[in-house]
Amino acid sequence: MSVEAYLNPDFTIFKKLIFLLVTLALIGIGLGFIYLVSMMVLDKDIPLRDRKWALMGAFEDKSQRLFEMIIAGTSVMSFSCAYVIINHVYTLVQTGVAGSLTPFEENLVRLWTDSKDFVLLFLICMSCVINTILDSLIIPLKKLSKQEKATMRMLAMFYVIILLMYLNYIGDESQYSPVMMYYFGLMVGRFVYFDASFKDFLGALKNMFFNLPYMALNLILTGLLCWFGFSAGYFLERNYFIMGIFYTHLFLLICIFLIHIVWMIARCASDRKRDNY
């Protein structure tokens, strides 16, 4: 019932490096696609002298939306993964499959039995805190406004619901259905609240609709990486598919952190070059 029980001991450092390189390559392809789209939708009336900087600004904005989608998806997935693991351990204890428990494990099972809803609420709050730390401090996405970040976070819940619906289809519904209901409730609360007008509702729908391509791109990245991870034996089906998906998101986070660092270095050099004009 340790954390190691949910991981693959054969997923060595060398294999993790391979998976990291594959993740970097796929994100690079995704960013290349975003760059092409940025070129296509760039305003033709912009003077030629300013087109390069306008293009880079549009590319940075769109890329940060993808990064926020990945960050928010990872944060939401952390809650889902925590729920599945805790509920699995609790089931093992209830059915007598689990052996002797440590005092910490006994307290955890007792807390889950007596205060499950409060534990879930705490986990949801923690996932929000993790999201804020990631996109404000570790990978600061300064190009996006608070409203744009809120839209991407709302889409991230929809993104995870799609993943859980697929896991429901191929696995045990009892493990994922309760989590889906929590997310559905959060999404409804985001759209419909006491002081919301119909105009606010339409505005939220419009913002979400125009950012759907980033969710689709994230789904493609996650699907390809999970397919590669399970096919290569890096992830194990017996440890739940959701563990492989969460592990994939961790690699995506590492990659966008590395890309962000390189991006900041390149941007500083570009700003100096622009100041010299």
DSSP 174-220: HHHHHHHHHHHHHHHHHH--TT--HHHHHHHHHHHHHTHHHHHHHHH
In the chain, what are the helix, strand and coil shares in percent, each to the nearest 5?
85, 0, 15
Residues 6 or more apart whose CB falls under 8 angstroms from that of 46 comprise 54
Among the residue ranges 12-26, 79-93, 207-221, the one predicted with the least confidence is: 79-93
Q: How far apart, in Å, do the first and last CA atoms of the chain sit?
A: 62
Percent with pLDDT over 70 in the chain? 86
Mean pLDDT of 239-252: 88
Measure the CA–CA gap between 198 and 176, rounded to whole angstroms: 32
Q: How far is CA 83 from the centre of its chain?
A: 16
Mean pLDDT of 145-163: 89
Q: Are the C-beta atoms of 187 and 214 separated by less than 8 Å?
A: no
pLDDT tens for each residue of 67-111 = 999 999 999 898 888 888 888 778 878 877 766 777 777 787 888
If one counts every other C-beta atom within 10 angstroms of the C-beta of residue 168, the result is 15
The better pLDDT of the pair 117, 234 is held by 234
- Report yes or no on whether pTM surpasses 0.85: yes
The better pLDDT of the pair 137, 105 is held by 137
Q: Are the C-beta atoms of 42 and 58 separated by less than 8 Å?
A: yes
Half-sphere exposure of 122 (CA within 13 A, CB side): 8
Mean pLDDT of 191-205: 63
The better pLDDT of the pair 200, 176 is held by 176
pLDDT higher than threshold 50 for residue 1: no
> What are the structural domain ranges in the chain?
3-275
Confidence band of 181 (pLDDT split at 50, 70, 90) = confident
Mean pLDDT of 155-178: 80
Mean pLDDT of 21-25: 97
pLDDT higher than threshold 60 for residue 252: yes
Measure the CA–CA gap between 33 and 27, rounded to whole angstroms: 10
pLDDT higher than threshold 70 for residue 121: yes
pLDDT higher than threshold 90 for residue 220: yes
